[in-house]
């Protein structure tokens, strides 16, 4: 196996998923002194230790305690039972755990970290809730101000419309008055023209009368 293949097999070795031949080849490679592979193995073993924390805890059945207690009542021990059991040999790959013991995170630190995460999430939720309520209050105040301003503008428009209608009525009255005065002026002008004609006629008559008086002996 090449170095890349051995390095790719390190995660499977950490969880015990390699075949016997592959496991032995990787162990021989690690014993040869490959520092990158050893460092990678330590990291994966640390991660593999935390995998059980992600499992769902299933409560044991109620009959399990009775079975365990009944199994403790055993027949008298025989000679074969009194002999100490022979210690089984380590499986290939188990001795690497002694060489590179995995580091398991303490439960207290895990619980403390989980509590801190929950606390931070609660603080963030409270902050966003307070911020949204404050923003909503400000928006409501702005909306009320806009509504009052719109009402004031509408009242001003109504007042201006009333003033314009009054001015229009006054202008119409003034126009009628001007038309009446112009008609009166036209009548006066006609009367003046008529009077001028009468004056001219009187002048002519006076001129004729004065001419006749000069011819009388």
Rounded to an integer, the average pLDDT of 184-205 is 88
Q: Are residues 101 and 158 in the same domain?
A: no
Q: Which of 73, 105, 137 is at the close of a domain?
A: 105
191 Cβ contact list (under 8 Å, min separation 6): none
Strands annotated E in 20-138:
none
CATH code, 28: 1.10.10
Of the pLDDT bands very low, low, confident and very high (cuts 50, 70, 90), residue 188 is very high
Rounded to 5 degrees, what angle do the CA atoms 99, 100, 102 make? 140
User: Do residues 28 and 56 touch, judged by C-beta distance below 8 A?
Assistant: no
Asked if residue 99 and residue 151 are part of one domain, the reply reads: no
- Number of domains into which the chain is organized: 2
Q: Which carries the bigger pLDDT value, residue 66 or residue 203?
A: 203
pLDDT at residue 90 is higher than 50? no
**Does the pLDDT of residue 94 top 60, yes or no?**
no
Q: How many CA atoms lie within 13 A of 7 on its CB side?
A: 9
Residue 167 maps to a domain: yes
Residue 74 pLDDT exceeds 80: no
Q: Could you tell me the residue range of the domain that residue 101 belongs to?
A: 1-53+94-105
| Higher pLDDT among residues 46 and 91, named by residue | 46
- Count the neighbouring beta carbons within 10 Å of the beta carbon of residue 96: 20
> Distances in Å between the alpha carbon of 31 and those of 1, 100, 156, 208?
15, 12, 94, 163
Q: Do both 140 and 214 map to the same domain?
A: yes
Query: Strand, helix or coil at 92?
Result: coil
Q: Which of 105, 126, 145 is the last residue of a domain?
A: 105
Please check whether residues 49 and 133 belong to one and the same domain: no
pLDDT band at 41 (very low <50, low <70, confident <90, very high): confident
pTM (predicted TM-score): 0.30
Report how far residue 102's alpha carbon sits from residue 73's, in angstroms, rounded to the nearest whole number: 38
CA-angle at 49, arms to 11 and 68, nearest 5°: 125
pLDDT value of residue 92: 47
Q: What is the pLDDT at residue 211?
A: 64
């Amino acid at each position: 196996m090449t170095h890349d293949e051995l390095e790719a097999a390190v995660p499977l070795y950490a969880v015990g998923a390699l075949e016997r031949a592959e496991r032995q080849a990787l162990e021989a490679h690690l014993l040869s002194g490959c520092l990158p592979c050893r460092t990678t193995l330590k990291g994966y073993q640390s991660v593999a230790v935390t995998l059980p924390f992600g499992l769902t805890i299933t409560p044991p059945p109620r009959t399990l305690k009775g079975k365990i207690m009944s199994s403790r009542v055993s027949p008298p021990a025989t000679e074969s039972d009194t002999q100490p059991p022979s210690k089984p040999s380590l499986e290939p790959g188990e001795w690497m755990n002694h060489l590179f013991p995995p580091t398991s995170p303490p439960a207290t630190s895990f619980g403390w970290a989980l509590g801190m995460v929950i606390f931070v999430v609660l603080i963030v939720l409270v902050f966003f809730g307070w911020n949204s309520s404050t923003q909503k209050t400000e928006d409501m105040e702005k909306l009320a101000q806009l509504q009052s301003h719109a009402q004031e503008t509408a009242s001003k428009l109504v007042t201006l419309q009333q003033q314009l209608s009054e001015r229009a009525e006054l202008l119409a009255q003034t126009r009628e008055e001007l038309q009446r005065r112009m008609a009166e002026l036209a009548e006066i002008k006609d009367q003046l023209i008529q009077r001028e004609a009468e004056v001219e006629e009187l002048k002519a008559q006076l001129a004729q009368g004065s001419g006749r008086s000069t011819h009388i002996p």
